Amino acid sequence: MTTAKPRSVLREASHQIIAGGSAGLVEICLMHPLDVIKTRFQIQRGAGDPTSYKSLGDCFRTIFRKEGIFGFYKGILPPILAETPKRAVKFFTFEQYKKLLGLTPLSPGLALSAAGLGSGLTEAVVVNPFEVVKVSLQANRDSFKEVQPSAFAQARHIIKSDGFGLRGLNKGLTSTLGRHGVFNMIYFGFYFNVKDAIPSSSDPTLEFLRKFTVGLLSGTIASCVNIPFDVAKSRIQGPQPVPGEIKYRTCFQTIALVYRGAVMLLVYEYVSGWLQRNW
């Protein structure tokens, strides 16, 4: 009886790089226009700003009219360059943290979430400089007919102006740690625990649907929970409301500012509506 030869660390890493990088490239090309729209909404200054977008459709039409079709692909090079190491780090370190915690593929409970948290925090350190460059490019509302900085030129500008630290190429690192840590913790924990709880099927189509549905639910729930960290990241890494004045400084301070602003606008709209109806 022969036993399977253990895969080397290098072989495991190469599998993750090829498989994860391929999947990530396709995902980026399909989803980047929505990421540009998401970032524009996250960094706009509010209802009083004349440049604010009124709706998803208005944002889409405005970008297309003023910046052209390539406006939806601003900042795409940094995530493409980051995707291979990002996916490799995500899945490879998840497996390593599982081994470190003494987990097997059948291990249940919070331990899988802990391994996901570790992989997310590691991933965040790798991708944050790319995120800083991407957001700064996506925030540019000029048409592609005008001179646009390349990703490398933008990175050089950020390094020259603010360096590599938490005010420069690693701006918003705490928020990125929160975003990736929370996402991976929920994604991996939910996916593997729920997937193993649902009986597998011998029918390839049904088995694909089982895994796809659980993966979709995992990603959706994880994305909803980590939205505050994602908004904070974009606010910190994007242009500040007043040039030269840093309003968004840290992760939780930014979340608190956005929360207070949302509450203020909500109260104003309800009180204003009540006064117009009754007074």
Question: pLDDT above 90 covers what percent of the chain?
Answer: 31
Q: How many CB atoms within 10 Å of residue 134?
A: 28
Distance CA 116, CA 87 (A): 13
- Where do the structural domains in the chain lie, given as residue ranges? 9-247
Q: pLDDT band at residue 2, thresholds of 50, 70 and 90?
A: very low
Higher-scoring residue by pLDDT: 236, 54:
236
pLDDT tops 90 at residue 179: yes
For 198, the token pair is 């649902």
Q: What pLDDT, in 10s, does the model give residues 62-94?
A: 999 999 999 999 999 888 887 777 777 888 888
9-247 maps to CATH 1.50.40.10? yes
Q: How many CB atoms within 10 Å of residue 140?
A: 17
Distance CA 18, CA 133 (A): 24
φ/ψ of residue 275, rounded to 5: -65, -40
Distance CA 183, CA 94 (A): 13
Cα–Cα nearest to 64, from 80, 53, 78: 53
Q: pLDDT band at residue 262, thresholds of 50, 70 and 90?
A: low
Angle at 172 between CA 80 and CA 156, to 5 degrees: 55
Cα–Cα distances in Å, from 93 out to 86, 123, 184, 250? 10, 8, 11, 27
φ/ψ of residue 107, rounded to 5: -70, 130
Model pLDDT, residue 1: 45
For 265, the token pair is 């606008």
For 181, the token pair is 């840590």
227-256 burial, b at 16+ Cβ within 10 Å, e below that, comes to ebbbbbbbbbbbeeeeeeeeebeebeebbe
The whole model's pTM is what?
0.75
Residue 138 CB contacts under 8 Å (≥ 6 apart), including other chains: 35, 36, 39, 40, 74, 75
C-alpha Rg value of the chain to the nearest Å: 21
The mean pLDDT of 208-230, rounded to a whole number, is 91
Model pLDDT, residue 160: 93
pLDDT tops 60 at residue 178: yes
Distance CA 90, CA 85 (A): 8
Model pLDDT, residue 269: 65
Distance CA 267, CA 263 (A): 6
For 111, the token pair is 């331990």
φ/ψ of residue 248, rounded to 5: -100, 110
Q: What pLDDT, in 10s, does the model give residues 31-63?
A: 899 999 988 888 876 656 666 888 888 999 999
Q: What is the mean pLDDT of the chain?
A: 83
